[in-house]
Amino acid sequence: MSKSILRIHPAIAFARVGNSDDYYLAPETMAGVPVAGSKPPVMGGLPIRRGTEHDTITDEDLRDASGALKRQAARFKIFAYSEAEAKAYPAATEQEIRIGEPLGDKTVTDIIWTVHVANKKANTFVLEVSNANGPVIDNYGNGNLPPIRNASFYPGDEGTEELAVLNNPERVSRLTIDFGPRTVRGAGAAPVRFDAATEASVYSAEGGLKALPDYPKSWPAKSFPDGLYSPTGEVDTLGHLETDEAGRLVVLGGYGRASAWKQADGSFYQLVSSVDNDGWFDDTSDGPVSAVVVLNGGLPDETRISAGTAWVATADPSYAPQILNVVSLWDEVYDTFVRKLDLQPEIYSDGEYRYDRYASFEDDVAHIFRGTALQEWISNLPQPAKHAHRAVGRIGAETVPADTILSGLAYIRNPNLPQQAMLGVPLMPGALGDSGQAFLSPTLTQYYFLTQWNDRKCSAEPVKPLSPGDLLDKASLINCLGGRFSPGIDLTFTVRQEEIYVQDWRKKEVGPFRIAPKPLKLDGLDPDVPVLSEGYVPLHSTGEDLVEPGDMTKFMSVPWHTDYNSCATHPTSPTIPHNTTLYWSWPAQRPVHVHLASEVKDGKPGPQRYSVRGPGTGSENPANQGRYQDIENILPNWHKIGFVIQDSAIIGGQRNPDQFFEVRSELPVDEGLVIPPWPMNDKSTSAG
């Protein structure tokens, strides 16, 4: 058998919380892209049914029989590459690895997966820094650090610097949710849970299976035995692992729960912030995924091959799974690898873009235009703007750029000119920008591809097609939010830091987009001494392999519910003189204004409604509408929010693939409240 390099895909995958034990699988196609063979065409990005490869779900699959919101599970597959292709990007895949199928002259008899997720949100830095007026990463520069969350909790001696406080072992133990690593193997394996009752274990090709009965588990009820306030249920698990019929890994996250502990006066902590709430836990998480593939019979005749590592994160539900962000998480991670990690020297090398290379319209440009076109279904665009956005969506590979409504690049915000981040309409995108930027700009690599399109250096076909494994990497990330990391929904600003990834990915043959896990010491465990630490700190951690379980989601809101509630529409930040217009934060991930499927008449949409609505959401201040005024009210209601999906995926719908409506909401409708078209105006401000 010639040597095969095995690799897990997606490199970064997302599970999503729900309050049901049931689940569906994460999208394995790209949002905004028609799924081949569907009649009428169904847009990609819709999750898929369990036990299928390409069968997209309908609105009836989003909730279980009791009406509870199903969780989204992340599925991982393993692909084989030749030695030459293992160093390339894109890389041609030889085959997918499945139990019972051949690999060369041997047969795959088993796949053993190890996953270790954790939640560190209570023991890290705050995200909203007072008087900060720039990118979040700037708060870590020049030797500085932001303030820490829960600063009064075991602060150490007065004057103790932040990292020493965060690495206090008792503080780490009590403020981290960590049940240790888990293994699962074989085809159709039963769930293995991340909870206190399930034994921790790891598996490696060199050492085999190792039980960890003394792993120092930590969770809220253990840390605060005198009681917790848990309005959404006790945070007692971070999810579970199982496998499908081919031995692929399926990872489920938590149930969308949040808990608060008691203050010194005996009262429970209250929710007071959109992002940084002291005294609270939630059950999101993240961590590394590894696998070992076993070929043929028992020892000593078997061959065990490592498939490397990937990463999984649990995030908010995706309430508009087919609506693209104009700047996605894919665009952010891809830009980081192009400019900093030598992904494609034919595009970018020696600090410069290569303008002699042709771009691919479908692979590099089309998703930007399709994302723009779909914004009308989750934001309150006026009719002229809807026509303009639809015109952008009709741009094709053969369209003359100067003849489009964009006039080439004339109306696209240029990220090479930072001053344009302070300029609104008519420049596009029309959404709010990143921390320290009033308006959203494309990434530098997106703008490079747009420049190639504008200069007629853009082919209709892929320059080199993506393999199934590479497509899974892109599909996972393109369905997530980029651009506005303050902090965002799925992952945040740390994805732009090249040090979190495997650096020499070609030499190590692991492929791009791999977060580099920090090796953990799992020998001689003491049940009272934590294995994890504060972990990765931007611009402070040095060396390679820096990222511990929990290090990626710890930079998100705690609990996630409050930031989701807050980020509807806002004035610009930084403030633009004399501007009182409200703009959208993350409408593709957090729908703001929606059309209800139940209000379609004669095939035409009814009035727009707020997606977050009902008692407690009203306000005389337009900047505060469409969210709960008492932010704690999002906790019992987050799972009642509806989904915006393509009409052709709605049972009993009009079957119009060009329209997207909200379905399966359990929130009431105020018949008298009709959303005015943009621009809405107000002088107040709001975090998000």
Backbone torsion region of residue 626, taken as left when φ is above 0, otherwise alpha when ψ lies between -120 and 50, otherwise beta: left
Look-up of token digits 């999101």: 284
Last residue of a domain, one of 394, 428, 462: 462
The answer to whether residue 136 is domain-embedded is no
- pLDDT score of 685: 39
C-alpha 570/C-alpha 583 separation (Å) is: 5
Contact 33, 495 (CB under 8 A): no
DSSP 639-657: GG--EEEEGGGSTTS---T
pLDDT in tens, 608-635: 999 999 999 998 888 899 999 999 999 9
Domain boundary residue, one of 427, 462, 497: 462
Tens-digit pLDDT profile for residues 167-197: 999 999 999 999 999 999 999 999 999 999 9
pLDDT over threshold 50, residue 684:
no
Q: Would 526 be classed as within a structural domain?
A: yes
Element holding 387 (H helix, E strand): helix 383-393
Sign of the torsion formed by the C-alpha atoms of 473, 477, 478 and 479: positive
Is the per-residue pLDDT at 131 higher than 70? no
The amino acid occupying position 548 is E
Mind listing the pLDDT tens digit for each residue in 109-119? 999 999 999 99
Beta strands in 331-480 (DSSP E): 348-349, 352-353, 359-360, 458-459
206 in the same domain as 97:
yes
Rounded average pLDDT over 218-247 = 97
Same-domain check for residues 96 and 189: yes
Tens-place pLDDT, residues 355-403: 999 999 999 999 999 999 999 999 999 999 999 999 999 999 999 999 9
Query: Are residue 510 and residue 444 in the same domain, yes or no?
Result: no
Report residue 686's pLDDT band, with 50, 70 and 90 as the boundaries. Answer: very low
> Does residue 649 share a domain with residue 512?
no
Cis peptide bond prior to 462, omega within 30° of 0: no
pTM score, whole prediction: 0.97
149 located within any domain: no
Alpha-helical regions (H) of 213-348: 220-223, 329-340
- 431 and 498 in a single domain? The answer is no
Angstrom distance (rounded) from CA 351 to CA 317: 38
Do 188 and 259 belong together in one domain? Answer: yes
Could you tell me how many helices (H) and strands (E) the chain has, helices first? 9, 31
Joined together, the tokens standing for residue 74 give: 């992340």
Q: Could you read off the pLDDT of 67-114 as tens digits, one per residue?
A: 999 999 999 999 999 998 999 999 988 799 999 999 999 999 999 999
Mean pLDDT of 437-452: 97
Report the distance separating Cα 40 and Cα 209, nearest Å: 49
Residue 596 and residue 552 share a domain: no
Would you say residue 353 lies in a domain?
no
Q: Does 36 score more than 80 pLDDT?
A: no
578 and 660 in a single domain? The answer is yes
Question: CB neighbours of 620 closer than 8 A, spacing ≥ 6?
Answer: none
Residues found in the chain: 688
> Are 292 and 386 in the same domain?
no
Average pLDDT over residues 322-336: 97
Kindly state whether residues 186 and 64 are assigned to the same domain: yes
DSSP codes, 572-588: -SSPPTT--B-EES-TT
- pLDDT at 227 > cutoff 80: yes
CB 589 within 8 A of CB 489: yes
What is the share, in percent, of the chain residues with pLDDT greater than 90?
84
Domain, as residue range, for 586: 568-681
Cα 318 from Cα 60, distance rounded (Å): 16
Q: Are 510 and 457 found together in one domain?
A: no
- What is the torsion angle, in degrees rounded to the nearest 10, for the CA atoms of residue 31, residue 35, residue 41 and residue 45? -20
In angstroms, the CA 559 to CA 546 distance is 25
The per-residue pLDDT of the chain, averaged, comes to 93
Residue 366's nearest CA partner among 34, 603, 86 is: 34
Residue 141 lies in a domain: no
For residue 674, what pLDDT is reported?
77
Residue 336 within any structural domain of the chain: no
Q: pLDDT value at position 164?
A: 92
Of the ranges 155-159, 212-216, 419-423, 521-525, which one carries the lowest mean pLDDT score? 155-159
The CA distance from 639 to 634, in Å, is 9
Determine if residue 83 is left, alpha or beta; phi over 0 gives left, psi from -120 to 50 gives alpha, anything else beta.
alpha
CA–CA separation, 29 and 27 (whole Å): 6
| Structural domain count of the chain | 3
Residue 153 inside a domain? The answer is no
517 and 621 together in one domain:
no
Does residue 350 form part of some domain?
Answer: no
Query: Which one of 560, 579, 594 terminates a domain?
Result: 560
| Residue pLDDT, tens place only, 637-655 | 999 999 999 999 999 988 8
pLDDT (0 to 100) of residue 297: 72
DSSP string, 12-73: EEEEE--SSS-EEEPP-S-TTSEETT-SSPEETT--B-TT-SS-B--GGGSB-TTSPBPEEE
